[in-house]
Chains A and B, each alone.
Chain A
């Protein structure tokens, strides 16, 4: 894997970008950009597995990211005992009721032979179950949401380490993808795109408005971390010694003791932030490498060949006896699980879960731009796309400001047009993304690192 030239391209681009930002802006910014690049790379690999390997168009990325984010809340936040005692039983009963509805629908669907009115019957059951569910769960939900509404007002989680939630997020996403896939995967490509987009809309609505579960628009803040906190670092002996050692030349220039201590203190504070981000980077890099390793193995395995065969000619693959429906469902679940993993990573890195921030432009279509720009069907392409697109996304505002200043230099500082342009600098990133996507689709339709046809 390491000898691969594409591997070298990917990671040297990443290193160069990070170092450039570190030198010209600051190391804190460089590392947070690197971290988000790595998370984006994981998301892009998830989409690439679905789109590049199997040709399934999934515009529901946002929904799966939100489910991953929800998993961090459900796993890492300490439970709220008052809420559990107030409404826990009601929630459990309504959960059981929901399960009963699902199973009865499944049983009816399986056992009753194809009757004319079967579908209508199932439809009526589902429609009736919604108000009933509301009737059963309503009082408990009200009770839960009224307990310490300002600080909690939800059931809380399982109080486990947050790393654990990444895997739970992936599993949850796979389960949801199973249901979504069962419903939508039979559809033609453009219908599938629209319906997955709408399903992700439903998921976001649920996460946003079921406050007993996720606190909804009130957000969950102060999530746990898999790495040390800055404050702890600043008080620990070994970290201060490390900073002192790393900056010994700078410190030795200062002779006055008080000045030296205050400088050291400043250095410790600034480098504690960098250190925390570095820890995150290492964890994320490990995740990227592990997923890349397995993804490459899978791509080159007989299974990967079969997936490509199904993608390129479904009819022929069917004729060869491959179960296309089953394989599509499996790969849809697999890709969604990786997206969910990335969603949990993102929320862990941010330290807060804000359901209202999930918007299709940022969390679905941007990821798609990464995959298409990087190279469809090529894992390295997805990673490169993740890095490059996130870099452009972050850096296009300062870049646009620079360009605007050059072109409007002759205008007055308070000129209306200049002021207006400077104020709208953040939106130039959309322009860059759109133009980039259009140009790549026109002149390099297979992406920057195109898929390699493996002949053996």
Chain B
């Protein structure tokens, strides 16, 4: 019984939140890595692109709610998602046309791209704050819990409860669907293969008759979809606040580089690696050891590697360690 309790404890406090947070990071990191692989720059405006997409979803959600339309047990935001995706694609393409295209044609160095992406970051930051304001917004509706900790305890008779929020399940399912479509597209379809070829060797791809404009367009579309989906899932699970979205850019970057920049599968694993180490290293294992250790040997301290204040710092530290020992990332990067 104690063993079961300890497993449930870990599932409730590490595995379930880790998978949820990991999925959100993974979706974001795949977006960053695709931009890096195809367009060859680190996009600092990505966090704010996520915020923009989520903002549109929230506005549409409010509109639908005011008309009395809901999605039953599921959050209304899922209904609003397509509109958010479309507008985010429009914004991405707009910025690509007005800003990035010029520098791409000029073949500017990566630093120039970073700097102009900073400019777009400022603009999007302002647009989001002007339209929806800087405050915390909770737009989750529908059924909150699939299983409450109390119900689980009654059902199984265990000491430890296992709570399962519906947003956690939605996040996981959406991530699985999105990623399977994406990887199928990249690995099996002709367009996906041409995208990979372009990322791998631009000149050779051009010689083979691949249209670079189409590739760029496609990349922005995929990236905008990923950004909006990741942003909306994060917002449903926690809450929407423009500043948090900007800050989330940092663990997303960490996940991207840890997984090997330019490598979508690496970014996927990187997201989970970052999420699990953030949660796993800041969790206090006292209760866990109480269950599995024999009586009399229970630990007196919290058995916590580092305090939760340093949650973000862990992902940064992992990144720096990876950069020192394996600058190409754990899964060799640079190729989609």
B254 contacts A198, C-beta separation under 8 Å = yes
Q: Which residues of B sit under 8 angstroms from A423, Cβ to Cβ?
A: 133
User: For the complex, is B115 an interface residue (Cβ under 8 Å from A)?
Assistant: yes
With A191-B327, A198-B320: A430-B309 Cβ-Cβ less than 8 Å? no
Q: Which residues of A sit under 8 angstroms from B312, Cβ to Cβ?
A: 201, 205
A311 to B319 CA separation, bound complex (whole angstroms): 26
A205 to B308 CA separation, bound complex (whole angstroms): 11
A428 to B123 CA separation, bound complex (whole angstroms): 9
User: For the complex, is A199 an interface residue (Cβ under 8 Å from B)?
Assistant: yes
Partner of A438, one of B116, B253, B327: B116
The segment from B13-21, B124-132, B189-197, B290-298 that touches chain A is B124-132
B126 contacts A431, C-beta separation under 8 Å = yes
Q: Which residues of A sit under 8 angstroms from B250, Cβ to Cβ?
A: 197-198, 201
A191 to B309 CA separation, bound complex (whole angstroms): 25
A190 contacts B41, C-beta separation under 8 Å = yes
A247 to B325 CA separation, bound complex (whole angstroms): 69
With A191-B327, A434-B125: A427-B130 Cβ-Cβ less than 8 Å? yes
Partner of B119, one of A119, A198, A209, A438: A438
A183 to B322 CA separation, bound complex (whole angstroms): 11
With A57-B111, A195-B320: A431-B310 Cβ-Cβ less than 8 Å? no
Q: Which residues of A sit under 8 angstroms from B327, Cβ to Cβ?
A: 187, 191
A57 to B102 CA separation, bound complex (whole angstroms): 22
A202 contacts B121, C-beta separation under 8 Å = no
A219 to B254 CA separation, bound complex (whole angstroms): 30
A198 contacts B115, C-beta separation under 8 Å = no
A368 to B305 CA separation, bound complex (whole angstroms): 36
A135 to B254 CA separation, bound complex (whole angstroms): 29
Partner of A195, one of B118, B122, B301, B319: B319
User: For the complex, is A455 an interface residue (Cβ under 8 Å from B)?
Assistant: no
A131 to B281 CA separation, bound complex (whole angstroms): 11
B316 contacts A201, C-beta separation under 8 Å = yes
A130 contacts B305, C-beta separation under 8 Å = yes
A202 to B131 CA separation, bound complex (whole angstroms): 31
- Interface size class on chain A is 35 or more
| Interface SS majority for chain B | helix
Q: Which residues of A sit under 8 angstroms from B299, Cβ to Cβ?
A: none
User: For the complex, is A116 an interface residue (Cβ under 8 Å from B)?
Assistant: no
Q: Which residues of A sit under 8 angstroms from B254, Cβ to Cβ?
A: 198
User: For the complex, is A103 an interface residue (Cβ under 8 Å from B)?
Assistant: no
User: For the complex, is B164 an interface residue (Cβ under 8 Å from A)?
Assistant: no
B246 contacts A361, C-beta separation under 8 Å = yes
A365 contacts B121, C-beta separation under 8 Å = yes
B122 contacts A430, C-beta separation under 8 Å = yes
A441 contacts B115, C-beta separation under 8 Å = yes
B115 contacts A194, C-beta separation under 8 Å = no
With A183-B320, A183-B324, A201-B316: A427-B115 Cβ-Cβ less than 8 Å? no
The B223-251 residues at the A interface (CB cut-off 8 A) are 243, 246, 250
The A372-422 residues at the B interface (CB cut-off 8 A) are 372, 421
Among B112, B246, B253, B323, the most chain A Cβ lie within 10 Å of the Cβ of B323
| Interface SS majority for chain A | helix
User: For the complex, is B206 an interface residue (Cβ under 8 Å from A)?
Assistant: no
Q: Which residues of A sit under 8 angstroms from B316, Cβ to Cβ?
A: 198-199, 201-202
| Total count of chain B residues near the partner, CB < 8 A | 49
Minimum C-beta distance from A153 to chain B (A): 16
User: For the complex, is A134 an interface residue (Cβ under 8 Å from B)?
Assistant: yes
The B123-173 residues at the A interface (CB cut-off 8 A) are 123-127, 129-131, 133-134
Closest to B324 in A: A183
Q: Which residues of B sit under 8 angstroms from A359, Cβ to Cβ?
A: 243
Q: Mark A181-209, 1 if CB is under 8 A from B, else 0.
A: 00110011111011101110110011011
Q: Which residues of A sit under 8 angstroms from B310, Cβ to Cβ?
A: 205, 209
Closest to A127 in B: B305
With A428-B126, A438-B99: A365-B118 Cβ-Cβ less than 8 Å? yes
Q: Which residues of A sit under 8 angstroms from B109, Cβ to Cβ?
A: 189
Minimum C-beta distance from B187 to chain A (A): 27
Q: Which residues of A sit under 8 angstroms from B319, Cβ to Cβ?
A: 194-195, 198
A198 to B310 CA separation, bound complex (whole angstroms): 13
Partner of B129, one of A130, A191, A193, A430: A430
Q: Which residues of A sit under 8 angstroms from B123, Cβ to Cβ?
A: 430-431, 434-435, 438
Among B125, B133, B306, B316, the most chain A Cβ lie within 10 Å of the Cβ of B316
Q: Which residues of A sit under 8 angstroms from B321, Cβ to Cβ?
A: 123
User: For the complex, is B307 an interface residue (Cβ under 8 Å from A)?
Assistant: yes
A441 contacts B116, C-beta separation under 8 Å = yes
The A147-189 residues at the B interface (CB cut-off 8 A) are 183-184, 187-189
Closest to A427 in B: B129
A429 to B122 CA separation, bound complex (whole angstroms): 9
A307 to B134 CA separation, bound complex (whole angstroms): 43
User: For the complex, is A433 an interface residue (Cβ under 8 Å from B)?
Assistant: yes
Q: Which residues of B sit under 8 angstroms from A430, Cβ to Cβ?
A: 122-123, 125-126, 129
User: For the complex, is A306 an interface residue (Cβ under 8 Å from B)?
Assistant: no
B313 contacts A434, C-beta separation under 8 Å = no
User: For the complex, is B257 an interface residue (Cβ under 8 Å from A)?
Assistant: yes
Closest to A435 in B: B123
A42 to B201 CA separation, bound complex (whole angstroms): 43
Minimum C-beta distance from A205 to chain B (A): 4
Residue pairs across A and B with Cβ atoms less than 8 A apart, 16 shown, are: A57-B114, A135-B301, A189-B110, A190-B42, A191-B257, A194-B253, A201-B312, A205-B309, A205-B313, A427-B129, A428-B126, A431-B123, A435-B119, A437-B115, A438-B123, A441-B119
The 5 closest A-B pairs by CB, nearest first: A434-B122, A434-B123, A430-B126, A431-B126, A437-B119
